[in-house]
Amino acid sequence: MRPGAAVVLASASLLVLAPGAPPTAAPPLPVRMADTGGGSQLITAQAPRAEATSGTVTWWNLRDGTWTKAGSAPARFGANGLVEGASRRQSTNTTPTGLYDLPYAFGVRKAPSGTKAVYRPVRQNSWWCQDNGSRSYNRWTEPRPADCRAAESERLISYPRQYAHAYVIGFNYARPVRERGAGIFLHVNGRGATAGCVSVSAEAMRAILTWADPGRRPHIAIGTESGATAVVRY
């Protein structure tokens, strides 16, 4: 053993045994994402795995180059879990993963005080057309057009609990692809898993609406903790 080696080894042992500094915290989720939509507000809806029906929704602010958490709440997803949005099929009870804009909000109840987003009140003749044969596919209609079958649509006022307050998720919205899916929202919890939407508590939904500022271009990223549908991919 060369001179001084014992001292070096002893020092190394002390370093191993001595209490170390706390592990470095992982960067905030938006920092690890491939894209956040280009704005300074972001909602992440993350499930532990693709088969999960529950997870977490978190809303974030970007200020001075740093993403900080503004709020967080338990969330529910589709009864059949989450699937890649680009390959999703309608009526599969799956939540589409991806990064989407938030065109506008709506609700059976009045907008929470402080809401800045465009907010449409739900009326008796407010429908969301999900009929693949209709020219109004994946659109709000008042009244329901003749080419949009009621059996293939949602009369929004029929869901006073879930749609007390809601945000339209821009999945398949700008250029709708037939059979991919319609009526995907961020809304208030119902009795259990959703038919493909993301849902949170009524309190969390109100908080999100009063937080969101269209001038800051909020988006929502939906995904899993890892794998092909990991939220960081979007």
- Measured between alpha carbons, how far is residue 100 from residues 108, 157, 223 in Å? 23, 25, 11
pTM score of the predicted model:
0.90
Q: What is the dihedral of CA 140, 146, 148, 149, to 10 degrees?
A: 130
What pLDDT score was predicted for residue 4?
41
- Measured between alpha carbons, how far is residue 35 from residues 5, 45, 70 in Å? 50, 14, 19
Do 78 and 66 contact (CB within 8 A), yes or no? Answer: no
H or E element, residue 66: strand 66-76
Give residue-wise pLDDT tens across range 147-165: 999 999 999 999 999 999 9
What pLDDT score was predicted for residue 25?
81
Q: Name the stretches of the chain with pLDDT < 50.
A: 1-18
What pLDDT score was predicted for residue 105?
98
What pLDDT score was predicted for residue 19?
56
Say how far residue 110 (Cα) sits from the centre of its chain: 22
Q: What distance in Å separates the CA atoms of residue 151 and residue 149, rounded to the nearest whole number?
A: 5
What pLDDT score was predicted for residue 9?
35
What pLDDT score was predicted for residue 13?
37
